Amino acid sequence: MSCPIKPTLSYMFMSGELSNLSCHETKRTLTLQDQDFINNSNLTPPLVSPPVSIDEIDSVRKGRHSEGLQKYTEAHEEERCFSIIFKGRRRNLDLIATSMEEARQWVNGLEKIISNMKKLNCQQTSEHWIFNCMRKADKNKDNKMTLKELKHFLRQINIEVDDMYAEVLFAKCDKSNSGTLEGPEIKHFYDLLIYREEINVIYGKYATTGEQMSVKDLLNFLLNEQREVATMEDAVRLIERYELDDSAKQKNHMTKDGFLMYLHHEEGSIFNPAHKEVFQDMSQPINHYFISSSHNTYLMEDQLKGPSSTEAYIKALMKSCRCVELDCWDGAQGEPIIYHGHTLTSKVLFKDVIKAIKENAFKTSEYPVILSLENHCTLEQQKLMAKHMISILGSALLTSPLEDQMPTAFPSPQELKGRFIVKGKRLNKLDAVFSNTSPGVEEDCVSEEDEAAETNNSKTDSNGQKKSKIKLAKQLSDLVIYCKSVHFSGFEHAEDNQAFYEMSSFKESKAVNLAETAVNAFIHHNMTKLSRIYPAGSRTDSSNYNPVPLWNAGCQIGTVDLLTELGRLLLNGIPYSYANQSQNNSKGPWEDVISAQQLPKLNKDKCKSIVDPLVKVEIYGVPADTCSKETRSIENNGFKPMWNETFQFDIQVPELALVRFLVEDYDSTSHNDLIGQFCLPLTSLQNGYRHVPLLTKHGDVIPSAGLFVHLMLLDAK
């Protein structure tokens, strides 16, 4: 049954919010703005949920791609369906319009709003956020602000002030003595609010030409503070791009507003914009690169009773994940399914997952995607798995080596662009592909993947190793080319017996132990082979380990969402050169954590809940480089706290070092809560005064929030 609704767009465009209702009869969530429809409908009155900000929307997807729409709509309704995809782990909003044209208007309208929001620079995003908070504080919608509304507004933007200070601030702005702020008075209040002393000090130091920055002053700043290789032409270009005052621009001057605009764009970001695109050599063998991986990719929540969904695969791939996991089991209707076996997690069809992977694999990165199979299926359903992958993935599926003869090493990411690589068990050696004399067996028993075997009640051999067998179909076996799963029996055994394409998966505890006790052997092993590390089964909340110590041992395939932003950067490959590890190219960075801007409230339902922020600066790298330092906490101020604290770090191996900024809400009685974080390679830092974006634990950018730091990376003498 479908709900013939007529959604209207005007409310959404005007307020930037989305009010939604749940239609129980169809088990679909629909946006209903037509009051006549609601009044005249025979449907059970739906439940109203709170408005949703456009900032919380990640994207809009046309058609019947979600599981809900595929289940509750017909194929002929394809052009009328679309889904709103939210950030984080929030479920999608699936909708069906009354006509194809209406659906088109919704999708185009939402995409335009989202696109415009993403194009806002940091300053515009900040203003948008502040004005939105002001609108919410204006309870009676009279475009005026009373003292009570001003106090409410300050709490909205994460500032706790005493009544006396609020009264002084209000009186300072209430020039008309009317008891309310309006028009220019609100503008004056806003100017006082966004005043940043640290920017004024920096600007004043270099603005030596009539209290403005001349092009020469700006070049001086770029050379001496930002440590950039800049020319006079570069300074002129920045003025032309960011200066808003036409009279200043005509004189090749930059005002304070233009200077702040420059600092809030990518030229003023901590992350080197040149590293946003692929900048490494991508022609080395694929085992020379770190590969962003996902564990139990199909799960939206925990590993015991959470939902399985194709959406989880889409979100992982859109965050540049290059290795996804498929736990495959026999389905009741003859079709293989994916879910976390022996748990209460829901199930999703294998073929639907493959379709979702096909459609989304290369939207963010063109480099290869590894399909890591954990196979529990019977022979008949294994044959269906192979059939679905071949028919759905087509020529993109790698079904034979790229070479015309037996390869001796991995191809490069460059050579594997746009291809799918199956990781799993194989019945025979890879050279059978080039042999005309041996047809190979149609099926045989092989050992299960180590991870799967750990969860089974299986027998053990004479060495205490678990033995778990499963019959493997030749059709599925033949799809495994460069990633044949084998049991790890020690580094010596692997060197003597394993081909380069035979790879092992390690439980995190075992991998960490090997990285601590046999790191040189581990590195030597990974110089020619691939290693995959998966989280311990005790992590039922789907949390992940810190991958850096294992990367230092050369392990390529690991889960990285502990350092979420790095997952995006790994699409570049970040090659790991084992032969050229340097221990004497040490650098000593020092960092000033100056301030933060517009940190979010952690409990939005409690207006009086104000954060007490502190900043941790963490270095991840070789053991000698790994350390953490933190600022003091600032009480009751998440809007623009200031620390002005300096830290110094001595780094021995900068090529392997990562820097993580972690902002937390201090709590004296329990663990601090995460406010936001950002992580990047040390070699991708820009020197000088820089803004640091902040991300949620799910990797979504927090609009308008950020840190302001000053850092310098110096060669040690």
Residue from 4, 93, 74, 7 nearest 42 by CA: 4
CA distances from 305 to 57, 298, 339, 539 (A): 26, 12, 10, 13
CB environment 256-273: b (16+ within 10 A), e (fewer): bebbbbbbbbebbbbbbe
Query: Which tokens is 53 given?
Result: 């900000």
Per DSSP, what are the bridge partners of residue 661?
617, 678
User: 295 an active-site residue?
Assistant: yes
H helix intervals, 424-481: 450-454, 474-477
| 643: amino acid identity, one letter | W
- Distance between start and end Cα atoms, the chain: 74
Residue from 687, 691, 660, 689 nearest 676 by CA: 660
Burial class (CB in 10 A: 0-12, 13-18, 19+), 609: middle
Burial class (CB in 10 A: 0-12, 13-18, 19+), 278: middle
Neighbours of 46 (CB within 10 A): 18
Residues 599/613, Cβ–Cβ less than 8 Å: yes
| DSSP state for residue 622 in the 8-state scheme | S
| 354: amino acid identity, one letter | I
Q: Which of 253, 275, 288, 295 is catalytic?
A: 295
Q: Which of 253, 264, 275, 340 is catalytic?
A: 340
User: Could you tell me which residues come within 8 angstroms of residue 376 by beta carbon, excluding any fewer than 6 positions away?
Assistant: 327, 328, 329, 330, 341, 448, 452, 470
Sign of CA dihedral 67, 70, 72, 78: positive
Q: What is the DSSP string of 482-512?
A: EEEE-----HHHHHHH--TTEEEEEEHHHHH
Count Cα atoms within 13 angstroms, Cβ side, for 600.
19
Residue from 704, 657, 663 nearest 685 by CA: 657
Overall size of the chain counted in residues: 717
| 459-460 and 502-507 strand pairing | unpaired
Q: What is the DSSP string of 325-355?
A: EEEEE--TTSS-EES-TTSS---EEHHHHHH
| 28-30 and 21-23 strand pairing | antiparallel
Burial class (CB in 10 A: 0-12, 13-18, 19+), 648: exposed
For the annotated catalytic residues, the residue numbers are 295, 340
